[in-house]
Structure 1
Amino acid sequence: MQVAVVAPETTPLADADDRAVARVERTARSLAARGHDVTVYCTGWWSDRLDYTETRERDGVTYRAVTVSPATTSYHARIPALLATARPDAVHAIDDPSAVLAARTGATLARSPLVVDWFGEGPPEDPLVGPALRVADRVVAPSELVRTRVRERGVPEDRARIVPEAIDFERVRAVEPVADPPDVVAATRLDADANLESVLLGLAELRDRDWSATVIGDGPERAAYEQQAADLSIDDRVTFAGDLPRGERLAHYRAAHVFCQTARDEVFAIELLWALACGCVGVVEYQADSAAHELVERRTRGFRVSTPEEIEGAIVEAGEFPEWTIDEDLAAFDEDAVAGRWLDIYRAAGAPEEAETAPEPAEHPEPVE
Structure 2
Amino acid sequence: MRVAFVSFETVHHRDSEANRRLHSVLELLDERDHDVHVFCARFWEADVPTFERDDVTYHGLSSGLESKWSFLARLPGAITSFDPDVVHAGANPPEQVVSASLGGKLAGAPTFLEWHGDGGIENTWWNRRAGRWADRIVTPSEMVATWVRELGIGSKVISVVPDPVDLDRIRETEPDDSVDVAYARRLDEEANLESLFLGLAELRGRDWRVTVVGDGPERPVYERLASDLRIDERITFAGDLPLEERIATYRGAHVFAQTAEHCVFPTEMLWALASGCIGLVEYHTASSAHELVEGWDRGFRTTSEEELADAILAAGDLERRDYDETFAEYDRDAVRDRYLSAYRSLQDSSGFL
Bucket of the pairwise TM-score, normalised by the shorter protein:
over 0.9
Alignment map for 1:193-204 (pairs within 5 Å): 193-204=190-201
Please state if 1:350 is matched with 2:333.
no
Q: Aligned partners of 2:50, 2:349: CA distance in 1, in Å?
A: 26
Matched-pair contact (CA < 8 Å) for 2:166–2:331: yes
Please state if 1:291 is matched with 2:288.
yes
Q: Aligned partners of 1:343, 1:351: CA distance in 2, in Å?
A: 12
- CA deviation profile, 1:171-201 (whole Å, cap 9, x unmatched): 21222122x3221111112122111111011
* Partner in structure 2 of residue 10 of structure 1: 10
Alignment map for 1:1-369 (pairs within 5 Å): 1-13=1-13, 15-16=14-15, 18-49=16-47, 52=48, 54-70=49-65, 71-96=67-92, 97-125=94-122, 126-178=124-176, 180-350=177-347
Once the two structures are aligned, what percentage of the paired residues are identical? Answer: 47
Residue identity matched to 1:228: L
Structure 1 residue 348, shift from structure 2 partner:
2.9
Structure 1 residue 276, shift from structure 2 partner:
0.3
Matched-pair contact (CA < 8 Å) for 2:121–2:147: no
Structure 1 residue 290, shift from structure 2 partner:
0.4
Structure 1 residue 285, shift from structure 2 partner:
0.7
Q: Aligned partners of 2:186, 2:31: CA distance in 1, in Å?
A: 31
Unaligned segments of structure 2, at least 5 residues: none
Name the structure where helix makes up a greater proportion of residues.
Answer: 2
SS at match of 2:232: coil
Residue identity matched to 1:4: A
Matched-pair contact (CA < 8 Å) for 1:9–1:42: yes
Q: Aligned partners of 2:109, 2:301: CA distance in 1, in Å?
A: 42
* Partner in structure 2 of residue 359 of structure 1: none
Residue identity matched to 2:75: I
Structure 1 residue 137, shift from structure 2 partner:
0.7
Q: Aligned partners of 1:32, 1:290: CA distance in 2, in Å?
A: 30
Q: Aligned partners of 1:69, 1:194: CA distance in 2, in Å?
A: 32
TM-score w.r.t. the length of structure 2 is 0.94
Matched-pair contact (CA < 8 Å) for 1:190–1:217: yes
Q: Aligned partners of 1:69, 1:188: CA distance in 2, in Å?
A: 31
What count of residue pairs does the alignment treat as equivalent? 350
- CA deviation profile, 1:116-152 (whole Å, cap 9, x unmatched): 0000011434541111111111111100000000001
Unaligned segments of structure 1, at least 5 residues: 357-369
SS at match of 2:131: helix
Q: Aligned partners of 1:160, 1:139: CA distance in 2, in Å?
A: 5
Structure 1 residue 331, shift from structure 2 partner:
2.4
Matched-pair contact (CA < 8 Å) for 2:121–2:148: no
Structure 1 residue 156, shift from structure 2 partner:
0.6
TM-score w.r.t. the length of structure 1 is 0.90
SS at match of 2:233: coil
Q: Aligned partners of 1:149, 1:93: CA distance in 2, in Å?
A: 18
Q: How large is the RMSD of aligned CA atoms in angstroms?
A: 1.9
Q: Aligned partners of 1:139, 1:59: CA distance in 2, in Å?
A: 27
* Partner in structure 2 of residue 363 of structure 1: none
Residue identity matched to 2:50: T
Q: Aligned partners of 1:79, 1:236: CA distance in 2, in Å?
A: 56
Structure 1 residue 351, shift from structure 2 partner:
5.6
Structure 1 residue 293, shift from structure 2 partner:
0.2
- CA deviation profile, 1:1-51 (whole Å, cap 9, x unmatched): 2111101122321x22x11111111111111222322111122323414xx
Q: Aligned partners of 1:106, 1:47: CA distance in 2, in Å?
A: 27
Which one is further off, 299-308 or 112-121?
299-308
Higher RCO, Cα 8 Å, sep 6+: 1
- CA deviation profile, 1:79-127 (whole Å, cap 9, x unmatched): 1011122221111000120111110111111121111000001143454
